[in-house]
């Protein structure tokens, strides 16, 4: 895809939103299913007819591993690397790193893949544009053709996450109902508040999605129930815990491991149920 999105624009379906919506999925804790969440929401939105871009800010590059994008010359690391002499990044350069996802994924789903070297960008400093705005600068003029831009943040609250939040309309926390997941959610919320104060006054805190809820019997396991209750009791999360709470479903991991969307994972009843859940979440992301 060339700079400015000409390749994508010439082959994708018409837009379904008047304005591009940018959502960042965040948590300070890893292992909460944030990346799987991002690609499932993205795939569901594309299946609904949207043009969707995933910006992968996690150096582990698990999103790219799952959606198996076409080969390309550039990654998120390349466009986020500042020039040595000036400390600047190139406006609109993100367009050169956008790739189609694999043939098994919906045609409207695109990605800017990460790589391990992206972790080095956490330490970039020096002259030029503020390092918190580099993702915003490289994305200039590139996101307009998309209905939905989903940014998969790394499992920390460093500069890569701050860049993602500084160039998003909404920040959503994805967490597992565990001690460390809940603590990571609180830390992520503090970071969101900091970015609102200093870098992006228009950023909306979109709430908390509980993922990987452990079920046993009618009301779920004690640990999961306890942690969800803790989230609901936190003043800054009042009224911000979304439904549905997504149960820990093996089929979600299997589909990700097979690098296919849930909707294409055979005739598995659980896959159909999981696909319907993420379709509903995608509809809310597109319509709210």
- Residue 218's pLDDT is 56
- Per-run averaged pLDDT (10 residues), the chain, 288 residues: 43 78 97 96 97 98 96 97 92 98 96 97 84 96 97 95 98 97 97 98 98 75 93 97 95 94 86 96 96
- Residue 127's pLDDT is 76
Q: Count of residues for the chain?
A: 288
- Residue 10's pLDDT is 42
- Residue 84's pLDDT is 87
Q: Are 191 and 226 in contact (CB under 8 A)?
A: no
Maximum C-alpha span of the chain: 62
277 secondary structure, DSSP code: H
Q: Are 34 and 54 in contact (CB under 8 A)?
A: no
For 4, 145, 187, the CA distances from 183, given in Å and listed in that order, are: 40, 37, 6
Report how far residue 98's alpha carbon sits from residue 3's, in angstroms, rounded to the nearest whole number. 9
Q: Are 205 and 192 in contact (CB under 8 A)?
A: yes
Q: Are 148 and 50 in contact (CB under 8 A)?
A: yes
Report how far residue 195's alpha carbon sits from residue 26's, in angstroms, rounded to the nearest whole number. 13
Report how far residue 44's alpha carbon sits from residue 28's, in angstroms, rounded to the nearest whole number. 25
Q: Are 143 and 125 in contact (CB under 8 A)?
A: no
Report how far residue 197's alpha carbon sits from residue 194's, in angstroms, rounded to the nearest whole number. 5
Joined together, the tokens standing for residue 253 give 């991991």
- Cβ neighbourhood burial of 202 (10 Å; 0-12, 13-18, 19+): exposed
Cα radius of gyration (the chain): 18
- Residue 92's pLDDT is 97
Q: Are 286 and 45 in contact (CB under 8 A)?
A: yes
């Amino acid at each position: 895809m060339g700079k400015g999105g000409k390749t994508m624009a010439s082959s994708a379906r018409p837009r379904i939103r008047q304005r591009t919506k940018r959502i960042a999925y965040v948590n300070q804790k890893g292992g909460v299913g944030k990346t799987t969440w991002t690609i499932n929401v993205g795939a569901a939105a594309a299946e609904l007819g949207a043009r969707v871009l995933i910006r992968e800010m996690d150096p582990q590059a698990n999103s790219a591993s799952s959606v198996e994008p076409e080969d390309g010359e550039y990654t998120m690391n390349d466009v986020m690397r500042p020039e040595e002499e000036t400390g600047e990044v190139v406006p609109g350069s993100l367009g050169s790193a956008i790739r189609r996802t694999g043939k098994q994924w919906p045609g409207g789903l695109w990605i800017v893949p990460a790589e391990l070297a992206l972790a080095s960008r956490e330490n970039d400093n020096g002259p030029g544009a503020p390092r918190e705005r580099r993702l915003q600068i490289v994305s200039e003029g590139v996101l307009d053709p998309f209905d939905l831009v989903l940014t998969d943040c790394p499992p920390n609250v460093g500069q890569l996450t701050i860049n993602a939040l500084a160039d998003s309309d909404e920040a959503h926390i994805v967490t597992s109902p565990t001690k460390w997941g809940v603590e990571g959610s609180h830390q992520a919320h503090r970071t969101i508040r900091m970015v609102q104060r200093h870098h992006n006054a228009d950023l909306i805190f979109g709430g908390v999605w509980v993922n990987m809820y452990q079920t046993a019997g009618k009301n779920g396991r004690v640990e999961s129930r306890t942690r969800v209750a803790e989230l609901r009791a936190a003043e800054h999360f009042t009224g911000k815990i979304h439904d549905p709470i997504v149960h820990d479903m093996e089929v979600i991991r299997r589909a990700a491991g097979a690098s296919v969307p849930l909707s294409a994972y055979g005739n598995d009843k659980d896959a159909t149920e999981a696909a319907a859940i993420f379709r509903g979440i995608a509809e809310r992301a597109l319509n709210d």
